[in-house]
Amino acid sequence: MGTFWASGWAVRHGENPYVEYPPLTWKPGAFGKDGAPVLDLNLNPPSMLPVFSLLSRIPLRTATNAWTVTSTVLFIGIAAVLIRRYRPERKPVWWFLTCSATIMTLGLQQIYAALLAIILAAWFLLESDHDIAAGILLGVLTAIKPNLGVWPLFLALSGRLKLILPAGATAAVLSIIPVFLYGTAVYPEWWRATGIDSHSIFPADISIAGTFTRLGTRPVGLAIALVLLILLALLVRAGKPPLYETTGIALCTSILCSPLGWLEYILFLAPILFAKRWTLPIAISAWLLWINPAFIDPQPYASHWSAFFRGLIYFVPMCILLFEYSRPALRALMARWQPNYDLSAVSDG
């Protein structure tokens, strides 16, 4: 919250919101207080600056407490709505309320509870075939977290074309507003901040780029992520999976193929994790993703290999989830490629 508050204060006073403002900007030690300091700059896009600007008008302690209470209420409310809607087993409920992503969101006063509320509303609208209203909310999500733009894109590729125009228009409007409020420099400032980010040393960055960064080969990870994104887009276009599977593919892709994919992003999968009974692969993956990073973080100054292998505890389950949601589309393609023989044309002899 100190990082967000400082960023809001800076933009209100004509300063760069994407640089450090000690002592407010959070600067924890990597893997413990004795580790190398990691500068926790605000990496949210400029579309969030008006929110942080308003937040900075409230005393920091009050803002922190209010944000934590609001997030807690949102999590409980979201769980209640999902339970009422899907009548799930106890496992998804327990997972959602106690997983590390929920705990870290509350402990660090992150924005993911609010994002999840928007995701849930968009999901319900999609289930009810209100694609235009859903598109507007998907545009809001894309403006706040650009990696979530994969979701409306894949939905359009699967055949739900009505939502792409409202999603694109909403995202564009919300992204342009900060230019008029804060000037054209705001986007280059954001871009420079993302370029110096060092969060990928943490195993909790579960993206492909983050996984390869811990091996010292980030460009390889970015290239693989781009190729995977293209292949999955082609798969969705050709296989036309239903809403549930398309959303699963899109949300997993938005995490794995993002330049930075925090473990907390798995909260975005909550609606589809509640919507259907868990298969064994999904259950195993979900419970591995439930584990708190504190139990797997390497010691300060550990080797790249140590951080890499610890990160596989999260990375592999994400890949399994992606494969599980992709299977219907893959089966549809395989069935289409199999030759069709007209047995009636074959003679008895």
pLDDT in tens, 267-305: 999 999 999 999 999 999 999 999 988 777 776 656 677
Identify the weakest region by mean pLDDT among 138-147, 237-246, 289-298: 289-298
Residue 347 lies in a domain: no
To the nearest whole percent, how much of the chain has pLDDT over 70? Answer: 93
Q: Which residues contact 61 (CB under 8 A, 6 or more apart)?
A: none
Task: Tell me the pLDDT band of 341, cut-offs 50, 70 and 90.
Answer: very low
Residue 346 lies in a domain: no
Residue 249 lies in a domain: yes
To the nearest whole percent, how much of the chain has pLDDT over 90? Answer: 76
Residue 343 lies in a domain: no
pLDDT at residue 294, as a whole number: 79
Structural domain for 172, as ranges: 2-334
Residue 13 lies in a domain: yes
**Contact indicator for 239, 222 with CB cutoff of 8 Å:** no
Task: Tell me the pLDDT band of 340, cut-offs 50, 70 and 90.
Answer: low
Q: Is the pLDDT of residue 226 over 80?
A: yes
pLDDT at residue 346, as a whole number: 41
Residue 237 lies in a domain: yes
Residue 89 lies in a domain: yes
Residue 348 lies in a domain: no
pLDDT tens profile 172-224: 999 999 999 999 999 999 999 988 767 777 888 999 999 999 888 999 999 99
Q: How far apart are CA 1 and CA 337, in angstroms?
A: 53
DSSP string, 130-162: -HHHHHHHHHHHHHH-GGGGHHHHHHHHTT-GG
Torsion sign, CA atoms 209, 212, 213, 217: negative
pLDDT at residue 95, as a whole number: 96
pLDDT at residue 327, as a whole number: 92
pLDDT at residue 32, as a whole number: 60
pTM of the complete model: 0.92
Provide mean pLDDT across the span 120-145.
97
Number of structural domains, the chain?
1
Q: How far apart are CA 321 and CA 341, in angstroms?
A: 35
pLDDT tens profile 103-118: 999 998 999 999 999 9
pLDDT at residue 347, as a whole number: 42
pLDDT at residue 47, as a whole number: 96
